């Protein structure tokens, strides 16, 4: 194999060149004194877009998502083991000690007894080991957050007054201060993502400006900034560990990006921009959710949904029952089709009714693009404000601001995208030609004029014909309980950990949520995580993501010796169980589970005791997808697939010939799928580099121009998918969507280390897995990601493995 052909252009791209403050008093002490007690618990990652907060590295990143590109079927959902009714009771006598509690934090005396009483009963301000998700209500948000902000203001003033350029006098108190708010705000934001309602929206909208104002004040603190600079310039700098150096350098860089160097009018303008961006991003996401759940298509004639598999019909009937059609059944309907991923994808891939496919497709690409939920003006205003923010900071465009804290530069990102685009284009053109030929052979009248609502349908028919694989027929082999058992078995083999249920140890927001404990080989707990698997279109946002609840931290240790343990969320939108059947998954949904668990592993298996660089914190955004995409590769490993692919009724393993077909089908339409991602990544960079808000070219014109080089089938003139592109307008991927492809190069090359060692050599796999754990998973943000990769792989990354896995190496 000629590797030089693909390797030569790439090396230069990768060249080496939470927080909670719990102020309240016991009522009996109200008239006498105030008591301040220290608080011990873990930092959390906020479930909120980066645009809702200043760029301050103590504030965790937005939730990490699987590849949730519009209309890309393998990017949509996740699922979980069994409903609570199917769970085995947990013997609590075998549960290890729970993580450190969140303690009450008493601040200055509160003069109003009624206010104190309200705070005393507020679950956000009570002691807890894990967030009280089952008791937090909208009415708790305003008083709870305001109480925390009041104490935070006081603590910040004290820190600025006493700060010294030392770790105990600067970094440790700052971590404690920020950690307090993140846990509480993280819990509130998480509930908005998974149990959204009008009252909760209103409460968050009201206090968010106050919170953003405090974060700006904190991020622009000159005493703190100057103290970090003093550490950097001190003679003891070289004595610091790599992790501590990374913390200091990140703080200095982020403070500048947060506007610490701006004075008077410019700082005021910067802060107004940040506040407005927070409001706009939140409104953008709400419009997407509302427009998604607004669409409902009631179908009473089974002929209209011919071709839909039984699982989709069951979901449609289940949805109909929830909407008042109490006699709806899988066999006889009626059925309700929605734009939620499991329903939408079932129609696009399997409905023979072309008119129905067109209607559903057009509804999907026009979400949040009209009426009161129109995001068009919001997008323009977001782009305008981001550009103004960049100019204030001395940058040419917002992409340069984004890249200032990433591995790549704008030029290197564009170079990578173009290399991958050119490697994918001819293959994608052939994909479309194959569809035309095949559909014509099947007598399809639309064969000579295939449109967007035809490609998924005929792709599935071609896949079935070419590889004799029907994804729906494979569902019985991928029941959620078996998939999770196999995933946890793989984690044990690779990383020496065990995962076991711990339901009942932590409060959950809905009964479908599972809670797990992660144990080291010694049996001692090292982490915990929640898993929310099923789609709930009326209250839960789409996609799949991982997020922090709290992170590992020495500073937040409860006993003063052992670090606080990390806790994570895994949240997805899998088809729920229907009737007495467990959740039965498509293979693509299996990949998504592995993806999100990869993110969670980096958070949970970190060995960094410095909380500010533990887990995913301070990992450059374009490297953070490495563990998640790495885990997806194991779905194609024979032993792994056989361990998860067991028939839910008979226990029979997936037939060997089907495994071989799945492996052969891995590169099916790889060029087309690659181009779809490249369209989104290229469009993102184009909007944040060259686009002029309010100029002669609209955002939709930019999309069409980009699509000329990234889509074989041009988008419809009325395609307004940008109005639902939450990743870059309500998430953390603005000028960063390229990260998926950047990290895909890293992850494929990392997996190739296991291929080189021999995937069937258990000893070599375990040794390589341990090396991956001790580097990529353990080091977190305490070392530059390129250095971490080289420490694991022994060299810098190459795109060869990615192109080979995708079947594009010969094309390249």
Q: 191 and 509 in contact (C-beta within 8 Å)? A: yes
Q: How far apart are CA 299 and CA 312, in angstroms?
A: 13
Beta-strand relationship, 335-337 and 567-574: unpaired
Q: CA dist 762 to 493, 747, 768, 770, Å?
A: 9, 21, 10, 12
In 43-197, DSSP assigns E strands to: 64-65
Residue 124 DSSP class: G
Q: DSSP letter at 776?
A: I
Of 248, 257, 182, give the one whose Cα is nearest residue 220: 257
Catalytic residue among 460, 596, 620, 632: 596
Collect all residues with Cβ–Cβ distance below 8 Å to 557 and sequence separation of at least 6. Answer: 40, 100, 563, 564
- CB-based contact 251:232 (threshold 8 Å): no
Round to the nearest angstrom and report the end-to-end CA distance of the chain.
12
Phi/psi at 44 (5° precision): -120, 160
Residue 783, preceding peptide bond in cis (omega within 30° of 0): no
Whether residue 539 lies in the annotated active site: no
**DSSP H helical ranges for 410-479:** 410-441, 452-467, 471-474
The answer to whether the Cα torsion of 371, 373, 376, 382 is positive or negative is: positive
604: part of which helix (H) or strand (E)?
Answer: helix 587-604
The span from the CA of 630 to the CA of 412, in Å, is 22
DSSP 521: T
CA 14 and chain centroid, separation: 24
Q: For residue 677, what are the CA distances in angstroms to 357, 419, 427, 688, 740?
A: 22, 13, 15, 17, 8
Is the CB of residue 187 less than 8 Å from the CB of residue 125? no
Rounded CA-CA distance 520/523 in Å is: 5
- 725 Cβ partners below 8 Å, 6+ apart? 70, 680
Structure tokens at 613: 């660089």
Across the strands, what pairs with 584?
Answer: 479
Euclidean distance between CA atoms 724 and 368, whole angstroms:
6
Q: Which two tokens stand for residue 571?
A: 């949240």
Residues annotated as part of the active site = 596
């Amino acid at each position: 194999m000629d590797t030089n052909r693909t390797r030569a252009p790439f090396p230069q791209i990768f060249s080496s060149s939470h927080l909670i403050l719990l102020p309240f008093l016991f009522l009996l002490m109200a008239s006498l004194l105030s008591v301040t007690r220290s608080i011990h618990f873990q930092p959390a990652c906020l479930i909120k877009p980066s645009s809702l907060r200043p760029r301050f590295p103590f504030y965790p990143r937005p939730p990490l998502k699987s590849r949730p590109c519009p209309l890309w079927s393998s990017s949509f959902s996740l699922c979980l083991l069994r409903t609570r009714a199917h769970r085995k009771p947990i013997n609590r006598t075998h549960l290890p000690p729970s993580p450190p509690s969140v303690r009450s934090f008493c601040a200055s005396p509160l003069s109003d007894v009624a206010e104190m009483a309200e705070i005393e009963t507020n679950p956000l301000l009570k002691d807890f080991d894990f967030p009280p998700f089952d008791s937090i209500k909208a009415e708790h948000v305003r008083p709870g957050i305001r109480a925390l902000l009041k104490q935070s203001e006081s603590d910040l003033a004290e820190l600025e007054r006493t700060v010294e350029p030392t770790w105990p006098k600067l970094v440790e108190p700052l971590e404690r201060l920020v950690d307090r708010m993140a846990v509480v705000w993280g819990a509130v934001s998480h509930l908005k993502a998974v149990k959204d309602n009008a009252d909760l929206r209103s409460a968050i909208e009201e206090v968010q400006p106050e919170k953003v104002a405090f974060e700006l004040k904190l991020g622009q603190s000159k005493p703190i900034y100057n103290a970090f600079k003093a550490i950097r310039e001190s003679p003891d700098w070289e004595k610091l560990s790599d992790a501590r150096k990374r913390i200091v350098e990140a703080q200095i860089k982020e403070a500048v990006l947060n506007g610490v160097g701006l004075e008077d009018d410019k700082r005021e303008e910067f802060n107004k921009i940040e506040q407005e961006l927070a409001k706009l991003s939140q409104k953008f996401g709400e419009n997407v959710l509302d427009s998604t759940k607004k669409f409902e298509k009631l179908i009473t004639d089974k002929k209209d949904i011919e071709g839909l598999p039984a699982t989709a019909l069951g979901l449609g009937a289940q949805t109909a029952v929830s909407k008042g059609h109490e006699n709806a059944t899988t066999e006889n309907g009626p059925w309700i089709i929605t734009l939620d991923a499991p329903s939408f994808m079932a129609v696009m891939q399997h409905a023979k009714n072309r008119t129905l496919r067109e209607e559903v497709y057009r509804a999907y690409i026009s979400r949040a693009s009209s009426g009161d939920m129109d995001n068009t003006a919001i997008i323009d205003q977001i782009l305008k404000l981001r550009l103004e923010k960049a100019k204030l900071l001395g940058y040419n465009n917002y992409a340069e601001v984004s890249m200032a804290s990433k591995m790549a530069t704008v030029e290197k990102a564009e170079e990578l995208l173009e290399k991958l685009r050119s490697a994918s284009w001819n293959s994608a053109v052939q994909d479309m030609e194959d569809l035309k030929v095949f559909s014509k052979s099947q007598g399809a009248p639309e064969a000579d004029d295939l449109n967007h609502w035809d490609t998924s349908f005929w792709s599935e028919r071609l896949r079935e014909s070419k590889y004799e694989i029907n994804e729906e027929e494979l569902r019985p082999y991928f029941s959620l309980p078996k998939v999770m058992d196999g995933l946890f078995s793989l984690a044990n083999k690779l990383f020496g950990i065990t995962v076991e249920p711990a339901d009942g140890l932590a409060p959950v927001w809905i009964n479908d949520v599972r809670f797990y404990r992660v144990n080291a080989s010694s049996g001692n707990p090292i982490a915990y995580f929640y898993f929310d698997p099923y789609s709930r279109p009326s209250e839960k946002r789409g996609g799949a993501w991982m997020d922090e609840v709290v992170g590992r931290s020495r500073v937040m240790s409860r006993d003063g010796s052992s670090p606080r343990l990390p806790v994570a969320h895994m949240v997805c939108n899998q088809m729920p169980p229907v009737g007495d059947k467990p959740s039965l998954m498509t293979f693509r949904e299996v990949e998504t589970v592995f993806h999100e668990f990869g993110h969670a592993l980096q958070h949970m298996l970190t060995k960094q005791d410095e909380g500010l660089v533990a887990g995913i914190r301070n990992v450059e955004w374009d490297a953070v997808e490495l563990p998640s995409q790495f885990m997806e590769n194991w779905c194609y490993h024979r032993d792994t697939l056989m361990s998860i692919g067991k028939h839910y009724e008979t226990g029979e393993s997936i037939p060997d010939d089907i495994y071989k077909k799945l492996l052969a089908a891995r590169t099916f339409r790889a060029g087309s799928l690659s181009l779809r991602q490249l369209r989104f990544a290229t469009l993102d960079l184009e909007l944040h580099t060259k686009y002029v808000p309010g100029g002669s070219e609209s955002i939709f014109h930019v999309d069409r121009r980009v699509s000329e080089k990234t889509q074989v089938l041009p988008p419809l003139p009325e395609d307004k998918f940008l109005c639902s592109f939450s990743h870059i307008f309500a998430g953390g991927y603005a000028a960063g969507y390229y990260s998926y492809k950047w990290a895909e190069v890293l992850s494929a090359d990392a997996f190739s280390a296991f291929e080189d060692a021999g995937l069937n050599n258990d000893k070599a796999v375990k040794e390589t897995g341990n090396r991956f754990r001790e580097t990529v998973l353990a080091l977190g943000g305490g070392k530059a990601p390129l250095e971490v990769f080289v420490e694991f792989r022994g060299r810098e990354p190459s795109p060869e493995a990615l192109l080979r896995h995708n079947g594009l190496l010969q094309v390249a």
